[in-house]
Amino acid sequence: MKNFQQEISETSGWLSKIGADPSGGMTRLLYTPEWVEAQQALKQAFETAGLATSFDAVGNLSGRLQGSKYPDQVILSGSHIDTVVNGGNLDGQFGIEAAYLAIKHLKETYGAPLRTLEVISLAEEEGSRFPYVFWGSKNIIGSARPEEVKSICDAKGVNFVDAMHSAGFDFRPQDQPLRKDIAAFVELHIEQGKVLETEGKTIGVVTSIVGQRRYDIKLKGEANHAGTTPMGYRKDTVYAFSRICCESIAKAKAEGDPLVLTFGKVEPKPNTVNVVPGFTHFTLDCRHTDKATLLRFTQEIEADIQRICAEMGIEVEIDLWMDETPIPMDKQLLACVSHLCESHKLNYRMIHSGAGHDSQIFAPHVPTVMMFVPSIAGISHNPAEKTELPDLAEGVKILAHTLYQLAYTEQGARL
C-alpha cells in the first residue's frame, strides 16, 4: 500500500483554500459561493481521476468508478463538505479527500472493481447556516421533508429555499425513486476527541454513535431586591439551577463512562448584580451508547429537577426537543475492518463516537461502518483542529483496504 502523505497534503492544500478565513480557520456554509466553489473543484478533481460525476437534486456530489460485475451494488464512501463557522479543515472534508484518494489509488492499481465504488461529497451535515442538520444524507435515504426547511432562514434572514435555488439546486422530485443501489457506506473521520491520541492509537474502529437527549429547561421563581429580601423568602432560580447542576453532574460521574452530561447554556434574568434572579433558562445535553441507560438516566434527572423545584417553590418547564437513539455500526463490517487492521498490523482500538455523523443517518438503512484518526488534543470545530500527516495517511490506508475488500473481492464482506 502506497504512502498517501504527499497526496493528502496536496489535496488538502487546494481544497482548504476555498472558504479559508485570512485570520485562520474556514467557513464554508451550505449553498454559499464558497460551498459551490468547493463542490465544483471536487467535481473537476474526480473527473481528472477518471470518475464519472453527478450532482443529485439538492447538491450531493458523486464520483463513480463503475463495477465490472455488480455495477448496481455501490460501495459508498465520503463525508460532508460544509463546515462550522470558523472551523478547521479536517472535519468532514478529510473524509471526502480520503475516499477520493483511496478510490483513485485502487483504480490505478487494480483497475475496475467488481462492485461500483462511489465517493460522495455530502451537501450538509453541520446545521451551521440553517437550523437543520444532515440535509445531504437525509435526502439520500429519504427522511428529509421540504416542509421542514421551507420557512427557515439563516442569521441574515436568507430563506433556505432561496439559497438553494441561487446555488442551482432544488428539492428532490417527490416521484423520484430513492436509491436502492447502496450496498455499504464507509466513513472516515477525525475523532474530535482525545482518546486515540491519549492511548497512542492510530485508528479507531467505531462500534456505535451515541444517542442524544437534549432539553430546554425554564425555571420561574420571583425577581426581588437583593438587599431587602431575606434568604429564606427567596425564589432564586440561579440557586435552583446550581442545585440541579451539582446533583446531576455528581450522578453522571457516578454512572460512569460512556455517559456524558452537559449544561451548555445558562441565561439568568434579569442578570444584574442587585436583583434576585427570578427566571433562568438552561440547556441539558445527555449522551450514551445504550438506549435503555440513556432513557433511565435522563428520566431520573427530570424527576430530580421536579423535586428540587417543588422544594423551592419554583415553577419549571422541561422541553425535550431532541431524542436521538444510539446507532450501532454493522457487525459484519466491524468484523471486516478490525480483521483488516490486524492483518495489516495497524495500531487500532474499538471506540464509540460521542458526536453525531452522517453514518448515523445511513446505518438504519444500509450496512455502515466508520473509522477515526486521532485529533491532536481532541480539538475540533476550531481553526486549531489538526491531525498529524502520518496518521491521516494511515486512515486513508485502512479505508483503501476496506474499499478493496468490499468492492474487489467476490465475498465483499458478505454484502
Q: Which residues are annotated as a binding site for Zn(2+)?
A: 80, 91, 126, 189, 381
Residue type, 302: E
- Taking the C-alpha atoms of residue 354 and residue 403, their distance in angstroms, rounded to an integer, is 25
User: Which segments are annotated as binding site for allantoate?
Assistant: 214, 274, 287
User: Which segments are annotated as binding site?
Assistant: 80, 91, 126, 189, 214, 274, 287, 381
Closest CA to 350 of 364, 324, 329: 329
**CA gyration radius, the chain:** 24
Residue type, 184: A
State CA 169 to chain mean position distance.
23
